[in-house]
Chain A
Amino acid sequence: MKPYRSLWFVMPANGRFDLTRICLEQLRRTCDTLTVRGIRASAVVVTDDANLETAADLGFATIRRDNQFLARKYNDGLQLACDPELNPSPVDFAVPIGSDDWIDDRILHRLPDHDAIRCFRHVAFVNETGQELSETRLAYEGGVGIRVYPAQVLEACGYRPADEDRKRACDTSILYNTRRHYRLKHQKDFRVTYGDLHARQIVDWKSPGEQMNTYRQISSMHRSVQHGTPFDLLKGLYPDQALEAMREHYR
């Protein structure tokens, strides 16, 4: 017998019930596929609204936390995933993810060593009407906020890396504070590695109103390549069932 490696996605959620449900259902498929491949995967959803029920129905962990500080929701999820004082079977890896994201499970088939984090630069964004997809490469260190953190790396900050009173830019706060605490504890930096496979390995589905950054803002901030209909471009990369549910969402 050999131990599974285990991984949780950490997802704060707030409203957007239909979009979140579709993304959680797709995340369930992603977790099941990873588990078949020997990475025991699940997720924890942190919220105080009806998304809790969706998450529980899909078999995910849940944490009830108000929406005052997004950072606290990430910290709660990371702590429950990794802290043996809370979780009798803590995970080996935690991956923060948004409630509007899809991820191609193949980018997680290789996981980082205990002294490294794994990052991704390529991400596709779908606009608020579901009619356009753009591909973006985030050139700055760490790339997309979806990063694979070994629990051993997060231990140095008590598994709560983000500034507790942040309402945005939490992914950067997690990265910077994790590094700061790791450096203090180990007298060296962790390694930052990249595991990109293709341009649509992560898909961020925009919706009108309730989000931090709009499609237009992202397209203007980064060098993006606009393409056509997302449902054609994503066919074969993600399950037909998930694509059909999302197509219906934007109708």
Chain B
Amino acid sequence: MTGGIYRVVGGRCYRGHQPGDLFEAKIEHRAEARAIGRGDIELVERIRFTVQPGSYNLPKGWLTTGRVSDG
């Protein structure tokens, strides 16, 4: 899921973030364009939100069984 790192550049809060703050968010493209056009935020970097590699483990045994008999 694509999002971005944004900086609040206007003189007012944006989505709860203070002027000058950097924040990461997914903002719908048209809303993002409007906010940038208004001078509320600027896009610092495009990022993809996802579970970080190496940060997770599946449940014990999750991949070993997955079917049940009809009987």
CA of A88 to CA of B15 in the docked complex: distance in angstroms? 36
CB within 8 Å for A80 and B51 given contacts A3-B66, A89-B66: yes
Residue interface bits B51-69, CB-to-A below 8 A is 1, else 0 = 1100111111111011111
Residue interface bits B19-32, CB-to-A below 8 A is 1, else 0 = 00001111000000
User: For the complex, is A139 an interface residue (Cβ under 8 Å from B)?
Assistant: no
Residue interface bits A1-23, CB-to-B below 8 A is 1, else 0 = 11110100000000000000000
Residue interface bits A25-68, CB-to-B below 8 A is 1, else 0 = 00000000000001010111000000000001001111111000
Residue contact B56 to A4, C-beta cutoff 8 Å:
no
Q: Which of A152-199 contact B (CB under 8 A)?
A: 157-158, 160, 163-165
Residue contact B1 to A38, C-beta cutoff 8 Å:
no
* Chain B interface mostly: loop
Q: How far is the CB of B44 from chain A (nearest CB, A)?
A: 14
User: For the complex, is A201 an interface residue (Cβ under 8 Å from B)?
Assistant: no
CA of A43 to CA of B62 in the docked complex: distance in angstroms? 11
Interface size on A, residues (CB 8 A): 34
Residues of chain B within 8 A (CB-CB) of A212 are: none
Residues of chain B within 8 A (CB-CB) of A76 are: 51, 55-56
Choose from A1, A60, A80, A87 the contact partner of B68 (Cβ within 8 Å).
Answer: A1
CB within 8 Å for A42 and B51 given contacts A2-B67, A4-B66: no
Residue contact A160 to B62, C-beta cutoff 8 Å:
no
Residue contact B1 to A87, C-beta cutoff 8 Å:
no
Residue contact A61 to B62, C-beta cutoff 8 Å:
yes
Residues of chain B within 8 A (CB-CB) of A89 are: 58, 62-63, 66
CA of A171 to CA of B9 in the docked complex: distance in angstroms? 30
How many A-B pairs have beta carbons closer than 8 Å: the answer is 83
CB within 8 Å for A61 and B58 given contacts A4-B66, A160-B49, A165-B24: yes
Residue contact B68 to A38, C-beta cutoff 8 Å:
yes
Residue contact B56 to A63, C-beta cutoff 8 Å:
yes
CB within 8 Å for A164 and B49 given contacts A42-B59, A59-B61: yes
Residues of chain A within 8 A (CB-CB) of B25 are: 163-165
Interface centre among B51, B52, B62 (most CB of A within 10 A): B51
Residues of chain B within 8 A (CB-CB) of A64 are: 52, 55-56
User: For the complex, is B70 an interface residue (Cβ under 8 Å from A)?
Assistant: yes
User: For the complex, is A86 an interface residue (Cβ under 8 Å from B)?
Assistant: yes
Q: How far is the CB of B53 from chain A (nearest CB, A)?
A: 9
Q: Which 7 A-B pairs give the minimum distances between C-beta atoms?
A: A158-B1, A59-B60, A42-B59, A63-B56, A165-B25, A160-B1, A64-B55
Q: Please list 22 pairs of residues, one from A and one from B, whose beta carbons are closer than 8 Å in the complex, sorted by A's number.
A: A1-B69, A2-B67, A2-B70, A3-B66, A4-B66, A38-B68, A42-B62, A43-B59, A44-B56, A44-B59, A63-B51, A63-B56, A64-B55, A80-B56, A86-B50, A88-B63, A89-B66, A164-B24, A164-B25, A165-B15, A165-B16, A165-B17
